[in-house]
Structure 1
Amino acid sequence: MGLFDIFKKKSQDSPQQQSEIIPNQPELQFVSLFFEHKPTIDKKQILKELKSRFKVVNSAEEDSSFTFFFPEYMIEMGDASIPAQGAIIQIDQKPNLERFEKAFQQSWHWDNSKIAMESCNFEINLTDLMSRTLPHQARLEYFQKFICAVVRATNPTVIYFRNSDKLLEPTDFLEACDSEQSSFLHGIMNIRLFNVSNDETLMDTVGLHAFGIPDFECRFKGYNPGEVAGALQNLAYYVFETGDNIQSNSTVQGLGKNPIWKTRYAYSKVEPSRLIVEVIPN
């Protein structure tokens, strides 16, 4: 049995059970950039970076307008079509570190995230506009290119992905995006770990829900957390890239001596509240 047999087996849920499942709805993509010193938002430099990643980029002529249009990614709205957009919003207040306490606790990938944030005094926000109906792959693709361009042009100290509650070092993010085998979920998905008891652990992904996709959750004991994280990551990448639907009451290949693990739809045990696929070890 292969890792992704889960996508081939028909659901055993009754029609009534399936109708009761409320899917995740796409949410705005929202990313914050933090700086030690007040950043210079040079529109010409941003456009230069954007044009190295997009065939066509449009923007209002006013230098004060920081909304950009990407005609390669068109959204159908009734009788009209409009391009996907990305916007830069400047914030005129010092970041409140209390809002990142949970993110600090789950920054296994960056030990110095809190130290870096403590040095920051300025913030700008990036968001996508008019793009929720795009296929999730295209939606992430264009917005990630937008983020990379703005990061290159402004040189922030910290990147924060709101939907995954994840803090990233800018060079780490750019390397993940620009590598030949792009880790395209590196920013928009976090894998979190929670100690449930002395010998039991809960691990989940967070961030896929913002694209209308179920996240994954696994409660386990006796397994290596790093290996469980790898299994959840593999599932997440497969689902996001292929768009295959996961069926409840099926199986995936897990870990250990009895590696056939069951799956079922559920609602998350940890905030944010969302539909998840629970992966159940034997």
Structure 2
Amino acid sequence: ERMELYHNAVLALLDVVGDNCLALHWMRSGVIVDPRTYRTSKDPGERHDPIYPAVNVRLFNVRNSESGNEHVMDTLGMTAFALRDLQIIFRTMEPGRIAGFLNGMAHYLYDHGDVVGDGHTVQGITDVRWRCRYAMSLAGPEREVLDINPGRP
């Protein structure tokens, strides 16, 4: 509800400044967005996204890993909703599918609150459930995250 009020205030401000606004910067998520794209994301319907651009899904390649192809993907911005950001380390899975999974988890937690905790499991993109634990983030800024373990590759 609070986020909806915030979005309405931003939309009203965009109405006032019009084409003078070149971009919007969400500092907590690090997202810079075109005002037209932002407006489209707030239109009712299929493209409506209540947490965009407040939450960002980021991908990092890990250097000097044993396999040479390890990745970290996380969210940034969930703290705006008093929730932990999410983090997953993976090797062989498709990054686009992991990004979709993290985006879906972020929406689930936004809708339901802090309901996935340390030691819980969640259904991942494979046939097995993935175990979650609280951990410190591997990518900055330093913060406590919900680390999701997809198991062995």
Pairwise same-fold verdict (TM > 0.5): yes
Offset, 1:179: 3.1
Structure 2 partner of 1:188:
54
Number of residues paired by the alignment? 144
Offset, 1:244: 4.3
- Counterpart secondary structure, 1:270: coil
- Counterpart secondary structure, 1:151: helix
Q: Give yes or no for contact 1:248–1:265 (8 Å, CA) kept in 2.
A: yes
Structure 1 partner of 2:17:
154
Offset, 1:170: 0.9
CA-atom RMSD, angstroms? 1.3
Q: Give yes or no for contact 1:262–1:281 (8 Å, CA) kept in 2.
A: yes
- Counterpart secondary structure, 1:262: strand
> Unpaired segments of 5 or more residues in structure 1?
1-137
Give the aligned residue type for 2:91. K
Offset, 1:211: 2.3
- Counterpart secondary structure, 1:141: helix
Matched, 1:209 2:114: no
Shift >6 Å, 4+ stretches? none
Kindly, what percent of the aligned residue pairs are identical? 29
Equivalent positions of 1:66-85 (< 5 A) are: none
Structure 1 partner of 2:44:
179
Give the aligned residue type for 1:281. P
> Unpaired segments of 5 or more residues in structure 2?
none
- Counterpart secondary structure, 2:69: coil
Greater relative contact order (CA < 8 Å, ≥ 6 in sequence): 1
Offset, 1:210: 2.4
Q: Give yes or no for contact 2:81–2:110 (8 Å, CA) kept in 1.
A: no
TM-score (structure 2 length as normaliser): 0.88
Q: Deviations over 1:168-215 (max 9, x none)?
A: 111111100113242011110000010013311100000011221101
Structure 2 partner of 1:278:
147
Structure 1 or 2, whichever has the larger Rg, is 1
